[in-house]
Amino acid sequence: MKDMKYREDIKDIKGIKGSKDMEDPIENQIKDYILTIPKAELHVHIEGTLEPELLFQLATRNNINLPYRSIEAVQAAYQFNNLQSFLDIYYAGSKVLIQEEDFYDLTWAYLKKAKQQNIRHIEIFFDPQSHTSRGIDFETVVSGISRALKDARIILNISSHLIMCFLRDLPEKSALQTLKQSYPYINNIIGVGLDSAEMNNPPSKFKAVFEEARDHGLLTVAHAGEEGPPEYIWQALDILKAKRIDHGVRCLEDEKLVNRLGDEQIPLTVCPFSNVKLKVSPRLEDHPLKRMLEKGLCVTVNSDDPAYFGGYVNDNFLGCQTALGLSQQAIYQLAKNSFTASFLNPQEKSKLIQELDKFR
C-alpha cells in the first residue's frame, strides 16, 4: 500500500521508472528504509502545504470565492512552466488564509503529514509580506503558525524552528518594514530567508535588511542558484552571510564554488520534485542531486511546496532513489545531512543522528 500511495503521489513527475523496477527486492528494501528512518525537513514553505481540500474548507470558512469549481480543477491548474507561473497560483491560494485559526490549521495539517513520514525536526518558512499586503496582521500569521509548532513538540514529538522569508521581487524597503514588524515576536523566529521570483532579483539587493536581521540575532539563509546563476550563490554567501543555501542546484556550473561549498560544508537544501515541476531539471533522472552528493556537498532532500509539486519528503526520497539509483548509504547520508545542516544545537543534532544510526 505504501508503494501504491507513493506512485500515486508522483504520477505527474517525469522520469519515474515503471512497476517492474519497483519489484526489485533490493530497491524495495531501500524504500522501506526511506519510509522508516528519522529525518529533518529544512526547506518547506508553509503556504505551499495548502492542499486543495483545505483550500476549499478555508474558502468556505472565510466566504471567499475561488476561481475553481472542484478539487480536480485546482489540481489541473497545478501545471507550471517556470517559477513565476507557480508563484501566481501560490499567492492566489494564500488569499484564503485570514484568521489565526487558518494559519494554525494549515500548519497542523502539514505537521501531521510530517509525523507520518518520520520527520523529527522541521525548519519552516513563512512569507509574511504575502499576508500583511492583504491587511492581515503580522501577529495573526506568526501566532497561528507558532501555536501549531508548539503543539507539535508536545503531541507529535517534532521539534521545529520558524524562518521568516522576504519576497525578493518586492523592494528592500518592504523587507525592512516586515523585519521591524517581527520584533515583538522575534523569540518565535530563528532566522530570515529570501524567496519568490529569483531572476533579476539578486541577493545583493537585500544587503541592508540581512545586516539588520543579523544585528538582532537572527540567522540567515537564502534561495539562490535555482533559476538564478551561480553568482547569486556567491552573493548569498558573501553579502547576506547565509548559513545555508536553499536549492543551489546550479552550483555545479562553477567549479570554484563547488570547492568552496564542499570545503566549508555549507548546506544546500535541495528540492528535487520542485526542480522538475518548475523545469529547472527536465526529468528526475537528470537531477543533479546524486552528482552533488558524490562531490561531497552537504545536500539535503526537501519538499519545498509539496501541495503543488506532487509529494512530501518521503516522496522526494523515493522518487530520487528510483530515478537516480541512490544506494542505502546515500539515503543515510542525505538523512544525516538533514540533521547536521539544521539549526539545532550540537546535543540535539547528536541525539537525532544516534536515532538514525540505529537503522544502519
Condensed to tens digits (0 to 9), the pLDDT of residues 199-228 reads 999 999 999 999 999 999 999 999 999 999
- Which neighbouring-strand residues pair with 41? 122
CATH of the domain at 30: 3.20.20.140
Q: Does any domain span residue 95?
A: no
Query: What is the model's pLDDT at position 259?
Result: 98
Q: Does any domain span residue 63?
A: no
Query: What is the model's pLDDT at position 23?
Result: 59
Distance CA 85, CA 11 (A): 21
| Mean of pLDDT values over 124-147 | 97
Q: Does any domain span residue 67?
A: no
Distance CA 164, CA 178 (A): 9
Q: Does any domain span residue 34?
A: yes
Question: Cβ contacts of residue 60 below 8 Å, gap of 6+?
Answer: none
* Catalytic residue, candidates 41, 47, 198, 226: 226
Q: Under a CB-based contact definition with an 8 Å cutoff, are residues 281 and 288 in contact? A: yes
Query: What is the model's pLDDT at position 15?
Result: 39
Count: domains in the chain: 1
- Which neighbouring-strand residues pair with 244? 221
DSSP 278: T
Q: Does any domain span residue 61?
A: no
Q: Is 119 helix (H, G, I), strand (E, B) or coil?
A: strand
> What does residue 200 show for φ and ψ, rounded to 5 degrees?
65, 15
Question: Cβ contacts of residue 213 below 8 Å, gap of 6+?
Answer: 179, 191, 192, 220
Residue 276 pLDDT > 80, yes or no? yes
- Average pLDDT in the chain: 92
Active site residue 348: no
Residue 116 pLDDT > 50, yes or no? yes
Q: What is the pLDDT of residues 30-46, one digit of tens each?
A: 999 999 999 999 999 99
Residue 47 pLDDT > 50, yes or no? yes
| Mean of pLDDT values over 297-323 | 96
DSSP states of 146-171: HHHHHHHHHHT--EEEEEEEEETTS-
Q: Does any domain span residue 270?
A: yes
- Residue 139: domain span: 2-47+101-357
Sequence letter at residue 245: I
Neighbours of 30 (CB within 10 A): 22
Q: Does any domain span residue 90?
A: no
Q: What is the pLDDT of residues 323-358, one digit of tens each?
A: 999 999 999 999 999 999 999 999 999 999 999 999
Unique residue bearing C-alpha cell 501555536: 147
Q: Does any domain span residue 7?
A: yes
